[in-house]
Amino acid sequence: MFLKEQLMKKLYSALMTAFNEDNTVDLQGVRAMVRYNIDVNHIDGLYVGGSTGEAFMLNTVEKKAIFKTVIEEANGAIDLIAQVGSLNLEEAKELAQYVTDLGYKTISAVTPFYYNFSFAQIKHYYNEIVKDVDNQLIIYSIPALTGVSLSIDQFAELFENPKIIGIKYTNADFYLLERVRNRFPDKLILSGFDEMLLPALALNVDGAIGSTYNLNAKRAKAEMVAFDAGDIQKARDLQQVSNDLITDLIQNDIYPSLKLVLQELGVPAGFCKEPMSHPNPDMIAGAKAIYTKYLK
């Protein structure tokens, strides 16, 4: 089990899923991205099965295959967090048990979305996911995509369950972040917006999870070191470059572009799953320019 101090100021890549051109999962590509994160990025951990992994477009069999492949390839070298959340509560519970049996020490679950669930229903969802598994859970809060904004008192109610240990906080409400950090000093808070890493560090988060760390981990780690050393100007300069990179990725279609830039780095990251875009010549040229400008 993770202790809070073990996660302090650690950096996690939100792992992508490689797909073949026919939309099937490319497990060899998944292995290659795990290896790159370990061997080149020297990442502290991977968040597996989240938004970046296109997990909400996958069936249960595909999710299980990815979870199994990742833990085999990582082989204990880094921390792993398995995102098992689903609109199908039975699937979420099944995946929670599956990854626990595989050896994942921490699970995570997105807030249930689309149906405007009441907080009582959301609380029931989280308690059910962890009820029958010997594991600990991090709430995945991403209101911009789920439409679910939890209040500080609602987080407090969820934390009444001792198996719920923290939050993947992908929320631009930094007033709420400060309030949550102040009220729950012993809970894990992992920042989920790469472009806001520096202000999140200023609010004393315990680490960060993000898509662009698959490419940009070295720069993000250098920013964390600079911040801890009190060199705020250096941290600002590094965040500015990171945000320039993020802006260029977004303008070039971020998910396929992340994979295209990894291809430039020699990592067979594959395609995105439709209806996400497959690369066109302009996108490929844009990704090459991003690689040359920021990573070569």
Task: Report the alpha-carbon distance of residue 268 to residue 113 in Å, rounded.
Answer: 32
Among 123, 168, 221, 259, the active-site one is 168
Question: How does 245-254 read in b/e, with b if 16+ C-beta sit within 10 Å?
Answer: bbebbeebbb
Among 140, 169, 213, 291, the active-site one is 140
Q: Is 129 annotated as a binding residue?
A: no
Q: Is 195 annotated as a binding residue?
A: yes
Looking at residue 104, its amino acid is: Y
Q: Is 186 annotated as a binding residue?
A: no
Q: Is 211 annotated as a binding residue?
A: yes
CA 96 to chain centre: 17
Task: Report the alpha-carbon distance of residue 109 to residue 71 in Å, rounded.
Answer: 18
Question: How does 48-75 read in b/e, with b if 16+ C-beta sit within 10 Å?
Answer: bbbbbbbbbebeeebbbebbebbbebbe
Q: Is 257 annotated as a binding residue?
A: no
Q: Is 270 annotated as a binding residue?
A: no
140 part of the active site: yes
- Of the candidates 189, 124, 205, the one whose C-alpha atom is nearest the C-alpha of residue 161 is 124
Q: Is 277 annotated as a binding residue?
A: no
Q: Is 79 annotated as a binding residue?
A: no
168 part of the active site: yes
Token code pair at residue 244: 């320039």
Residues contributing to the annotated binding site for pyruvate: 52, 209
Catalytic residue list: 140, 168
Residues contributing to the annotated binding site for aceneuramate: 51-52, 170, 192, 194-195, 211
